[in-house]
Amino acid sequence: MKRFNDLTDFSREEIADLIALAKRLDEHPEPRALEGKILSLLFLSPSLRTLASFQAAMGRLGGDSFVISPSMSIHGIETRPGIVMDGAAAEHIREAVPVIASYGDAIGIRAFAERRSLDEDLADREFENMAQLVDVPLINMESAIQHPCQNLADWKTMDDLGVPSAGGRFVLSWAYHPRALPLAVPSSTVQMAAMRGMDVVVLNPEGFDLPDSIIAKAKTAAESSGGSVTTTRDRKEAMEGAHVLYAKSWSSTAHYGDRIADEALREDLVDWCVDDPWFENAQDNCRFMHCLPVRRGVVVADRVLDGPRSVVLPEARNRMVAQMAVLHRLLSG
């Protein structure tokens, strides 16, 4: 394993192995497994869970890490190719990325979507441009279209809770948020749930359909796992018998990159705040999942988030545990 970028690069068996390794490392610590090993962490956008959980994961395995983020330490990093750098930026990613990578035995990179062109973001252009500059094992810590560490943590969280895979109904629902957010989590989450063999339902208002290529990719994954993928605008229909409601806000795809049009569209959608009535016809113990950070009273009502359905805290802890497995696989032996 040289790259952890897209869950669909792996077979179900490989994922099961990673999750088993994660469980084992959580229960039986290996505090010297990665001694003397270094993880480079490059954050081109802000982070809390990822920042904390990768440092903690590496430390638990006896390794160490360092963090580079523009806000902390750099004069600004230029990403455009072929440019004459006579502006503010003093360094180009063509030097910064390979240099940072060369100090570590592996590198994690976070780079959000530019949200100028849907095609470019679906191709994960910015992340791939940086990935090409790296020759050590690489972890995608969230890019325009991928968030494999979140996906692996979510899969493990459902395993931990006994959420059924075959026959389990997984609803990914759009939720209101005042800002246009990236597609990485919804797009990669449908792949994860489809690969797990679940019946995946994507629920969202008009103008917020996930890109066709994302749905098609998930359908392919579902075919080989025995699951299914459908889309709907009908909340009642979506939630019928649901085992999991996974809430997330994302940008309008109809007006991708057009902030004004996106805002005009979403301003009527403030009722897309997950609340108790959503669960009326779901399974009794239907779980509420969210990758965090989450806006209380906006994306989800306090009573859901603080209630027994919510598994957002074990889900967040599983980020660290899942990443320990990924790091162990990439770096040990």
Chain residues that interact with its own copies, rule: CB under 8 A: 29-32, 35-38, 40, 43, 46-49, 51-53, 55-56, 58-66, 68-69, 71-75, 78, 82-86, 90-92, 94-96, 98-100, 102-104, 178, 292-298, 302, 305-306, 312-313, 316-317, 320
In the complex with its own copies, the residue whose CB is nearer, 271 or 284, is 271
Give whichever of 226 and 297 is closer to its own copies, judged by the CB atom: 297
CB closer to its own copies, 49 vs 169: 49
* Pairwise CA distance, residues 190 & 271, whole Å: 23
| Residue that is written with structure tokens 């339902």 in the block | 201
Q: How far is the CB of 73 from its own copies (least distance, A)?
A: 5
Q: How far is the CB of 204 from its own copies (least distance, A)?
A: 20
Q: How far is the CB of 103 from its own copies (least distance, A)?
A: 4
Q: How would you class 121 by CB atoms within 10 Å of its CB: exposed for 0-12, middle for 13-18, buried for 19 or more?
A: buried
Closest distance to its own copies from the beta carbon of 311 (Å): 12
- Residue 152: name the closest of 200, 187, 189 by CA: 189
**β-bridge mates for residue 173, sequence order:** 203, 247
Long-range contacts at 126-133 (CB < 8 A, ≥ 24 apart) = 126/79, 127/5, 129/79, 129/81, 129/93, 130/93, 130/97, 131/3, 131/5, 133/93, 133/94, 133/97, 133/98, 133/101
Tokens of 37: 């090993």
Q: How far is the CB of 72 from its own copies (least distance, A)?
A: 7
Cβ proximity to its own copies: between 1 and 52 the closer is: 52
Q: Cβ distance 252 to 118 under 8 Å?
A: no
Closer by beta carbon to its own copies, 122 or else 184:
184
> Which lies closer to its own copies via its Cβ, residue 238 or residue 300?
300
SS3 label, residue 6: coil
**Burial of 188 per CB tally in 10 Å (0-12, 13-18, 19+):** buried
Which is nearer to its own copies, 169 or 266 (by Cβ)? 266
Angle at Cα 212 formed by Cα 208 and Cα 216, nearest 5°? 130
Angle, vertex CA 127, rays to CA 125 and CA 132, nearest 5: 95
Select 153 or 245, whichever has its Cβ closest to its own copies. 153
3-state secondary structure of 78: strand
The nearest distance, CB 254 to its own copies, in angstroms, is 23
- Please, which residue, 40 or 191, has the CB nearer to its own copies? 40
Q: Smallest distance from the beta carbon of 215 to its own copies, in angstroms?
A: 28
Rounded CA-CA distance 126/145 in Å is: 10
Sign of the CA dihedral running 112, 116, 121, 126: negative
CB of 58 to its own copies, least distance (A): 8
Q: How far is the CB of 145 from its own copies (least distance, A)?
A: 21
Nearest to 139 by CA among 19, 41, 9: 41
